[in-house]
Structure 1
Amino acid sequence: MTSYQIHTADTAADAAKEPLEVLEGAFGFVPAGAGLMANSPALINTFFSAFGHFRGGGTFGPDERQVLLLSNAVANRSEWAVAFHTLESLQDGVEPAVVEAIRQGKVPENPRMAALSTFTQSLIEKGGHVEDAAVIAFKAAGFTEEQVFEVITAVAISAMTNYTANLAWPPLEDAVAPHAWKAGSLASA
């Protein structure tokens, strides 16, 4: 098994330090996925910029952002990211039943969150080639044309973190460990 360094702001190259410092300030620790991405300043800085626009300039609320990111982590079968976004989802007000449904690979009962989760997972599973009916269903749940495209931002952000974690298998941080998840726990697996 290949081993990759999980960087902190102290160990990262100068070009990768700032994102790690900001993340450590926000979470109290450097998330392992970010520490791994810091092996490439291009990757961590691209992620950091995209996530900043998604969070700061996007139209989804904190709970909706987390449903997107958790759904993407499940679709990408990223065990580290599912655990991390479970913690974040619960902290950002996502109903525990919604979180658990997504973690099990099921559709949440909450209609709006179901549409959000279903649409983003469909984008991943179909490589962006979703049918018009999927877009119509997403918009019928109250989402906008702009948000159709904003979901693509979440998919791109998730690809960066999920693929990094899938490649490197980082350990779960203490705060994240209670939310451990295995890809084999999916209802469809």
Structure 2
Amino acid sequence: MPRIPVHTLETAPEDSRDALKALDVKFGKVLNIHGEMAHSPVALQSYVALQEVIADHGSFDGRTREAIALAVGNVDDCSYCQAAHTGGGRAAGLSDDEMVAIRAGAVDFDPTLAALLELAREYTADVGSVRDATWQTALDSGWSDEQLTELSVHVTLNLFTNYFNHFVQTDLDLPAAPAL
């Protein structure tokens, strides 16, 4: 049971309504996570701002962004984010088998992506710390310093949503991710 109610477009604080309306249009409904974030315009606007910066300036394609989100969501055990990004992953061209492999940390279908995701998984599991060897493997796989730096924003955004869902106990209003 969630700790806070899910706001609707009508009940959300005035300073959250425009962002909530935009998310409603984007996703076809007010998702529970967004309706809960709407309690605090700071929380909702922070989420939206990070999404916009990534959309405007990020170098990763949708497939890579969704893979990062799935890896982080799995390490951080966020069932809501794994469900949300399973839908997003399908839209970005990932197969169900690929998404299960990403969540399980067994990305043998794309060695370049595997190197980046191992860095993301380690970053998540070890509170921002990564081994030099993991960093070097990502570089050797073709990822640039700029992209590895950008990875920190993607992991941070996903940790923000994962932690938020854990904190408020968001109810799942999306199809669950396939079991591992």
Q: TM-score under structure 2 normalisation?
A: 0.91
Query: 1:17 aligns to what?
Result: 17
Query: 1:100 aligns to what?
Result: 100
TM-superposed CA distance for 1:180, in Å, is 3.6
Matches within 5 A, 1:55-74: 55-74=55-74
- CA spacing shift, 1:10–1:181, aligned 2, 3 Å: farther
More displaced stretch, 150-159 vs 8-17: 8-17
Q: TM-score under structure 1 normalisation?
A: 0.87
TM-superposed CA distance for 1:133, in Å, is 1.4
TM-superposed CA distance for 1:141, in Å, is 1.8
TM-superposed CA distance for 1:102, in Å, is 2.3
TM-superposed CA distance for 1:56, in Å, is 2.2
Aligned mates of 2:154, 2:99 — CA distance in 1? 17
8 Å contact kept, 1:97–1:108: no
Q: Secondary structure at the match of 2:102?
A: helix
- CA spacing shift, 1:75–1:157, aligned 2, 3 Å: same
8 Å contact kept, 2:2–2:171: no
Aligned mates of 1:25, 1:10 — CA distance in 2? 15
Is residue 166 from structure 1 mapped to residue 159 from structure 2 by the alignment? no
Query: 1:38 aligns to what?
Result: 38
Counterpart residue identity of residue 157, structure 1: L
TM-superposed CA distance for 1:167, in Å, is 2.1
Q: 1:66-110 CA distances to partner (integer Å, 9 max, x unpaired)?
A: 01111111111001110110111011112332201123x232112
8 Å contact kept, 1:70–1:82: yes
8 Å contact kept, 1:9–1:17: yes
Aligned mates of 2:116, 2:30 — CA distance in 1? 28
Query: 2:143 aligns to what?
Result: 143
Q: 1:126-172 CA distances to partner (integer Å, 9 max, x unpaired)?
A: 11111221111112222111111111111111122111111233232
Query: 1:152 aligns to what?
Result: 152
8 Å contact kept, 1:79–1:166: no
Is residue 86 from structure 1 mapped to residue 86 from structure 2 by the alignment? yes
Counterpart residue identity of residue 146, structure 1: E
The alignment covers a number of residue pairs equal to 179
8 Å contact kept, 1:98–1:113: no
More displaced stretch, 58-67 vs 159-168: 159-168
- Alpha-carbon RMSD across the aligned residues, in angstroms, is 1.7
Instruction: Specify every segment of 5 or more residues in structure 1 that has no aligned partner in the other structure, as ranges.
Output: none
Query: 2:4 aligns to what?
Result: 4
Matches within 5 A, 1:123-138: 123-138=123-138
- CA spacing shift, 1:4–1:99, aligned 2, 3 Å: same
